A and B are shown apart, each in its own frame.
Chain A
Amino acid sequence: MPPPQVDLLQGTLAMLILKTLALERMHGFGVSVRIRQMTSDVLRVDQGSLYPALHRLERRKLIRAEWGVSENNRKAKFYTLTPKGRRCLEQEASSWVRLSLAVNTVMQAE
């Protein structure tokens, strides 16, 4: 039975994608696999949200796309983080930390 899905807010998904690409240049499929791997299958990115998010990030020039050849010799579109994307990632990361701390505090109140 698949683990309960967690709904990701749009901004959070973008942040995860940026982080994934910060680690390594990869194509869209690779990003979705990597996120599942890293979260031990807790977060499964719905492909219907992945690609729109990727294109949004590309439009905002946070990631850069180019066509290349995948590990099994197929043509695929690869994404890389731009410097602007790197800066954005840092900002988002620190906001996220603050936010989650705040939410935790409230939830732990008696």
Chain B
Amino acid sequence: MAWRQVASWWRRLTQERTPTDEIDAELRFHLEMEAERNLTSGMEPREARRAANRDFGGIEQYKEECRDQRRASWVHSVWQDIRYGVRILGKAPGFTALAVLSLASGIGATTAMFSVTNAVFLRPLPYKDADRIVRLWEVAQDRPDQKRGAMVRNFLAWKERNTVFEDMAGLMLDHTMNLNSDQNPEVLKGRKFTPGFLDVFGVKPALGRPFLAEEYDNARRDWPLIISYGFWERRFAKDPNVIGKTLPIEGLKQPIVGVMPKDYQPLYWAKNIDFWGPRTWSGANITTNFRWLPVFAKLRPGVTIEQAQAAMSSIAEGLAREDAANTGWTVKVEPLYQSLLGFRQPAVMPIAGGVGLVLLIACANVAGLLLGRTSGRQREIAIRLSIGAGRLRIARQLLTESLLLALAGGIAGLLFARWFLTILIAAAPPGTPRLEEASIDVRVLAFTLAVAVATGVLFGLVPALTGSRFAPGPGFDVSARSFGGSRQRMRRVLVAGEVAVAMVLLTGAGLLLKSFLRLSGIDVGFEVKDVVAFRLKVPERGVLQAVPNAAGESLLRVPEQMAPGFERILEEMRALPGVRAGAIATFAPMTGMFGGMPFTIEGNSGNEGTRGSQFQVSAGFFDTLGVPLLQGRDFLPADTQGGEWVAIINDAAAKRYWANRDPIGAWIAIPGTGAPRRYRIVGVVRNFRYGRVDQAPNPTIYTPHQQQPLIVHSSGWLSQVSRTFLLRVAVPPDKVLPGLRAIAAKHTGNQPIFDVQTVEDLQGEQYRAPRFGVTLVGVFAAFGVILAAAGVFSVMTYAVVQRSREIGLRMALGAQRAAVARMILGEGLKVAAAGIVLGLAGSLAAGRVLAKLLFEINPQDPSTLASVSLLFLCVILLACSFPVRRATAVDPVEVLRHE
């Protein structure tokens, strides 16, 4: 039954409107009536019928005519349109090629951008039920935008008291351990989590099992590991018997109990995570007030985020009442998506905008081309109209041609998009999550189709409507060429628009370029070249001691032998041939800036707001970096644990806090866990940008790293047992590396050095993002300029060709070639002027959008605007030069003869 319905539907759709039987019936009725009339007027019956038939004429012929008159079915006529369109486009290969290429570039760029946006933002997060996973932060009520990790005992309280979460867990990021091996020691990067983590994210190990409850035991030294798939591949070659094997880590053997699935994405898209371990808390860590732990939780089904937020806020209030350290603090519940991707979005806007503009220019170009062609097709259209084609039918035909162009452009654009995407992925700055997964998949294809159709309608609608508006009346001369009027004007408007948009793109690129140049021209204040940085870590285990402090808190402490150990290593490294100078610091350079932490100046009445960044360095640090000492002295080897506690400040601190006095000899106090420590200032150094290139140096305080209070924070990052070594070398770094490795191994029992990089490379990393932005927008701008110039060229050329008769006349009447040239040029300049003025307005608006990305550049920078305007003027003059020459080359005799 259904089949019959489908068949009849299909028949109705594709066949003629009025079935033949109906016509037969109608005609038969007429014949019978006619025969009857003949009868009543006296004819014989047979004669009556014959007369009727005769009068009627050829029935079949008539039926044929009727059939021709019937409206062919919709599908049939669309197919006709398509075939006709293809033929027409094939007849003008130059035009078709140009149009398709323009569209391909615009649609291709848009597709590539969408693919990136899709891969990075639109796809769901790779965790089960990701929309129910949240991250919990602690925020101070007076500073709600500064999110902090959780205090350990607060985390435990949240977990115990809440009713809105299915599960909650903490995750410790950045845990490094040294894998011992004679042949291939390695530094492993991993994380530790608390019970429930795997449940929150819905992860089951691909091999083995999750941790058992009793394995979450702090006292246990040889805690089990779940290794990552990549590590399993790399180190064990996917050995299926890996479960139960042990890894020799810092003197202990740690068993492997599981392997993570291949598609598990470590949070925050960290690469090179090798292992996960269990973590729980006892004793010391529960008393610390440090807010550092990342906490994740999964909402119970049916619970909304708002409900969870409300519940946690009230729990936070309870905690604030019970615990003085929580006064003024509350909890923020943040969806996982926000946590992982939220901050990236602003950067995408300008790029997406730029791509959209290129597409717009391409559309305007093709619309102009089509308008030009429509003018040329007046004759054909007039004829079709006069033989009875409806206006709508003609418009539909023209629109079909536009859509065909757009679809062809879309297909070509896909090829272009693949190429463009490869480049984007390769050149993009690091740290953009999921970028490598951008590809042309089904969703992207659907998007491309939609864009192609939309652009087809966009640029095809106007030519289709204007092309068919034309209705010839009696006595009309089809060959008259004066109809271009309004269409030409529209083309000029389009071209002016293209120029404006291209100007906006170029201004954007110019601003970004200036910003980038300024950024790369900054003097960082120290010698970046020829410095190698690396980290060295000494084993934590068996080394840390639990030590009660004055307040009765139990702290973990690094024994005194450790710091001198680092110094000894440094001494030996300095002595290597090829090494000119060396120093130790707690952070590597060019890896980010740390905000100021409060300190107090003794003897100062008003101490609010005295903040300074704090670094711990060795003697020789300033010397190694080439930073001059302005006053006082550098640290000496004698400034060790036992000696007087000294500090060096930078010029910014000196000027800000000791404006009229000599800071040398002043005492400052730095708070920490326990009583504040007092330091005497012994030197002042010049400002330099250690952490970030684009931020002016804060007031900074340097203290000797050996005099560091011996507290280990469990977050690993600030662990006192790893140090960054900075060595100034006179030879290529690879030459000294083996020697450095040997020294490190000797002193630390085979621990490797890691994160080896030259400071120059680290600095280069900071420029990758701005450089990428400049290149990208620059490419768009180049496209835009070329397309706009092509548009100007084609409009002007066409105008000249159309007006060759007029030009010939003028010349015949005595106009000089120069006057003709001036006339044509004048028209071109009018278009240019309109475009440039519009473009300036647009550029001012665009500047505001880009303002966030610009470094110390005024978004309305007049010199950029002026140079871009001038450039466009030249480009347009160039584009007009050929049409002008062609105009002056018109031979009046030749032209008039053709009339």
Contacts and interface: CB of A to CB of B under 8 A. Distances in A.
A52 interface: yes
Interface string A75-99: 1110000000000000000000000
Contacts of B811: none
A55 B30 contact: no
Contacts of A27: 29
Interface string B12-54: 0000001000110111011011101100000000000000000
Contacts of A77: 22, 25-26, 29
Nearest to A71: B33
A51 B62 contact: yes
Contact of A48 (B18, B33, B65, B70): B65
Interface in A60-76: 70, 72, 74-76
A63 to B, nearest CB: 14
Contacts of A47: 30, 55-57, 62
B62 A48 contact: yes
A55 B56 contact: no
A28 B30 contact: yes
A84 B751 CA distance: 94
B436 to A, nearest CB: 59
Interface in B549-567: none
Which secondary structure characterizes the binding site on chain A? helix
Given A29-B34, A56-B69, A59-B71, A51 B29 contact: no
A46 interface: yes
A100 to B, nearest CB: 16
B203 interface: no
A29 B66 contact: no
Contact of B30 (A29, A46, A56): A29
A81 B37 CA distance: 26
B29 A76 contact: yes
Contacts of B32: 74
Most B CB within 10 A of own CB, among A48, A52, A70: A48
Given A29-B33, A51-B62, A75 B25 contact: yes
Most B CB within 10 A of own CB, among A33, A47, A70: A47
Interface in B607-641: none
B382 to A, nearest CB: 19
Given A48-B56, A48-B62, A70 B29 contact: yes
Contacts of B23: 51
A48 B32 CA distance: 16
Contact of B57 (A28, A48, A70): A48
A59 B18 CA distance: 11
Nearest to A70: B29
B18 A55 contact: yes
Contacts of A74: 29, 32-33
A47 B57 CA distance: 8
A52 B30 contact: no
A52 B388 CA distance: 14
A55 B26 CA distance: 12
Contacts of A33: 37
Contacts of B57: 46-48
Nearest to B17: A59
B66 A51 contact: yes
A51 B25 contact: no
Contacts of A48: 56-58, 61-62, 65
Interface residues of A, number: 18
A60 B63 CA distance: 19
A56 B37 CA distance: 27
Contacts of A55: 18, 66, 69-70
Nearest to B33: A29
B9 to A, nearest CB: 22
A51 B26 contact: yes
A72 B37 CA distance: 12
Nearest to A74: B29
Contacts of A56: 69
A76 B29 CA distance: 6
B73 to A, nearest CB: 13
Contacts of A76: 26, 29
Nearest to B61: A48
Contacts of A46: 57
A47 B69 CA distance: 15
B877 to A, nearest CB: 54
A1 B56 CA distance: 19
B811 to A, nearest CB: 44
Contacts of B22: 77
A56 B25 CA distance: 18
Contact of A51 (B27, B33, B34): B27
Interface string B399-430: 00000000000000000000000000000000
A29 B55 CA distance: 13
Contacts of A28: 26, 29-30
Contacts of B55: 47
A47 B66 CA distance: 12
A30 B737 CA distance: 109
A56 B67 CA distance: 11
Interface in B60-110: 61-62, 65-66, 69-71
A88 B29 CA distance: 29
Contact of A52 (B33, B37, B69): B69
Interface string A42-56: 000011100110011
B324 to A, nearest CB: 85
Nearest to B36: A72
A51 B33 CA distance: 15
Interface string A18-52: 00000000011100010000000000001110011
A77 B34 CA distance: 15
A75 B32 CA distance: 11
A2 B20 CA distance: 33
A109 B373 CA distance: 47
A15 B52 CA distance: 25
Contacts of A72: 36
Contact of A29 (B25, B29, B71): B29
A9 to B, nearest CB: 13
A52 B29 contact: no
B746 to A, nearest CB: 99
B71 to A, nearest CB: 6
A30 B27 CA distance: 13
Contacts of B56: 47-48
B387 to A, nearest CB: 13
B490 to A, nearest CB: 31
Contacts of B26: 28, 51, 76-77
Contact of B65 (A29, A52, A70): A52
A52 B63 CA distance: 9
A72 B71 CA distance: 32
Contacts of A51: 23, 26-27, 30, 62, 66
A30 B37 CA distance: 12
Contacts of B62: 47-48, 51-52
A88 to B, nearest CB: 15
Interface in B770-828: none
A72 B36 CA distance: 11
A40 B69 CA distance: 30
A103 B303 CA distance: 86
B277 to A, nearest CB: 79
5 contacts: A29-B30, A55-B18, A55-B66, A56-B69, A74-B29
Interface of A: 27-29, 33, 46-48, 51-52, 55-56, 59, 70, 72, 74-77
Given A47-B56, A51-B66, 16 more contacts: A28-B26, A28-B30, A29-B34, A46-B57, A47-B30, A47-B62, A48-B58, A51-B23, A52-B62, A52-B69, A55-B70, A59-B70, A72-B36, A75-B29, A76-B29, A77-B25
Question: 5 closest Cβ contacts across the A-B interface?
Answer: A29-B33, A48-B57, A29-B30, A76-B29, A77-B26
